[in-house]
Amino acid sequence: MQRERTFRFPILEVIIGLSLIFLLRPAAGAEIEKGQKRILSLQQMIAMAIAKSPEIAETRSEIAGTQSDLEQVQSAYYPQIEGLGFIGPVNDAKRPAVRGTRIIDPSPDAGFSTLGAFGRLEFTVTQPLYTFGKLANRKEAASRGVKAREFKLSGNKLEIALKIKQLYYGLILARAGTDAARDADTFFDDARKRMTRLLELGSTNVVESDLYRVDAYRANNARSKAEAEKGTKVAYFALKALIGLPSDVEFDVSEKTLPLREEVLSNQDLYVQKALEDRPEFKQLDEALAAQDSLVQALQSDRYPSFFMALAGSLAGAPGRETFHNPYISDEFNHANVGVVAGVKWNFDFGISQARVDKERAEYERLLHAKDTGKLNIPIQVAKSYQETHEWKVAVDAYRKAASASRKWVIASLTSFDMGVGTADDMLKAIEKYGENQGKFLEALFNYNLSFAELEYATAQKDW
């Protein structure tokens, strides 16, 4: 059933509400020559808003962050090098001598004069061999995380496109409403002139009180005109901020009237299926689920050992100390030791690892429920937009005919009034009805375009 609305341009409230939200966000400056007036299409405005959107920049930063996580995991497959170097003072010393059963130290007595310096470098080059999936699962989780953020970016772009369409169509509607109110004003002025002329001629089908009725009838039209002008300014300012135009650069929209789409909608089920397949939110959830599943498996792998191969070495030198070579006694200040070893690393705890696994598994379950909720809500959203598009298309056709008929009624009533066979009441009612029908036609056309835009958003259709 068609919803009944009055000719008061209710979209003004929508425009103001959207504008208050949009204008609180900082808009970046645009590199446009000052003093020029830009003529912009809807597609150009969407592209400019996407390019200047802080939301888009924020999501791109998130993508860069997740790509860094992926690079960290990929780097873990390569050898990891750890080194430790230090220098310090040490007493000079000579190589000890063995005489009989005694070890004799010929080194000078300790003192400041016998202090020297030594340096030491220790290093380990570790190459993972087998980690029970610790690296592979984390790599998969990071890769899926990047894709999830990329789908979030696509969703941001669709949301921005819908916001621009709302304001773009709202601006055209407000301007058309202003023109319609001026048109009605012209008819009221014409009626007043005719009444005044007939009063001067002493006509019997008009009385002086009819002039007051003209002012009474046109009061609503004056208010509608004022609201439409206010809506024009608000929508214009909001659009200008969203697309990033400086305050001293003016623009105008390329379309002067609301478009009347002639597309024939397909079956509703096809739109629902397209939404379930193409909506970025679903793809983002799929990637997030895969990433979370890999993370759970990675945490489970942490409870198993990791096998590795390592190259370990230690180099030390002290110029004031003679080198002492003995296979059983190590010289901490003069040596060069390098070797290859194989090892295993295994961490044990009493429930900490399992608690981490349980936490991430709970997050996985939450994402599953979020996806199920989307499967319930998205079809409803698509069906609502689909049916409203049909509804407003019927309203557009009906009110277009009504506006045309009421305009003819105005012309006929003005002619009849001039001929002395029509009444002022019939003439004023015709003008009022014309204004009402024209307003409802414009409102229906706006809601038709807006419903179509919401259907495009619901089905992830890009038209820019």
CATH code of 33's domain: 1.20.1600.10
Task: Tell me, yes or no, whether 101 and 209 share the same domain.
Answer: no
pLDDT of 393 over the 90 cut: yes
Is residue 163 situated within a structural domain?
yes
pLDDT, residue 400, reads 93
For residues 200 and 162, membership in a common domain is answered with yes
pLDDT at 14 over 70: no
- Whether residues 322 and 364 share a domain: the answer is no
* 165, 266: one domain: yes
Q: In the predicted model, what is the mean pLDDT of residues 390-412?
A: 94
- 356 and 450, same domain (yes or no): yes
Could you tell me if 173 and 298 lie in one domain?
yes
Residue 93's pLDDT band (boundaries 50, 70, 90)? confident
Question: For residue 262, is pLDDT > 90?
Answer: no
Residue 361 lies in a domain: yes
In this structure, the answer to whether residues 125 and 162 fall within a common structural domain is: no
pLDDT at 446: 95
pLDDT (0 to 100) of residue 205: 78
Q: What is the mean pLDDT of residues 93-100?
A: 76
> Which pLDDT does position 26 carry in this prediction?
42
pLDDT, residue 35, reads 55
pLDDT for residue 379: 93
d(CA 450, CA 164) in angstroms, rounded, equals 11
Q: Are residues 36 and 84 in the same domain?
A: no
Cβ proximity of 391 and 2 under 8 Å: yes
**Is pLDDT above 60 for 2?**
no
Q: Is residue 464 one of the residues assigned to a domain?
A: no
Residue 116 in 3-state DSSP?
Answer: strand
Shared-domain flag, residues 140 and 247: yes
The pTM assigned to this predicted structure is 0.79
Residue 1: inside a domain: no
Q: Is residue 356 part of a domain?
A: yes
Domain that holds residue 90: 78-130+306-345
Domain boundary at 317, 345, 373, which? 345
Tokens of 61: 């930063």
pLDDT digits (tens, 9 = 90+) for 156-176: 999 999 999 999 999 999 999
Segment 198-255, tens digit of pLDDT: 888 887 778 888 888 888 888 888 888 899 999 999 999 999 999 999 888 999 999 9
What is the reported pLDDT for 31?
Answer: 43
Residue 114 has pLDDT above 90, yes or no: no
The answer to the question of residue 233 being in a domain is yes
Same domain, 59 and 164: yes
Domain count, the chain: 2
Tell me the mean pLDDT in the region 112-118: 79
pLDDT score, position 100 = 73
Lowest mean pLDDT segment, chosen from 83-92, 100-109, 160-169, 292-301:
100-109
- Token representation of residue 160: 């921005």
Distances (CA, A) of 414 to 191, 197, 402, 431: 7, 13, 18, 10
Are residues 384 and 256 located together in one domain of the fold? yes
* Domain termination site, one of 292, 322, 345: 345
Q: Is residue 6 part of a domain?
A: no
Provide mean pLDDT across the span 356-364.
94
Residue 391 has pLDDT above 90, yes or no: yes
Q: Is residue 51 part of a domain?
A: yes
- Report the alpha-carbon distance of residue 12 to residue 18 in Å, rounded: 10
Query: Are the C-beta atoms of residues 382 and 265 closer than 8 Å to each other?
Result: no
Is the pLDDT score of 387 beyond 60?
yes
Half-sphere exposure of 135 (CA within 13 A, CB side): 17
pLDDT over 80 at 104, yes or no: no
Please, what is the average pLDDT of the chain? Answer: 87
* Domain identity same for 257 and 313: no
**Residue 275 CA, distance from chain mean position:** 18
Residue finishing a domain among 345, 372, 401: 345
**Does 16 have pLDDT greater than 60?**
no
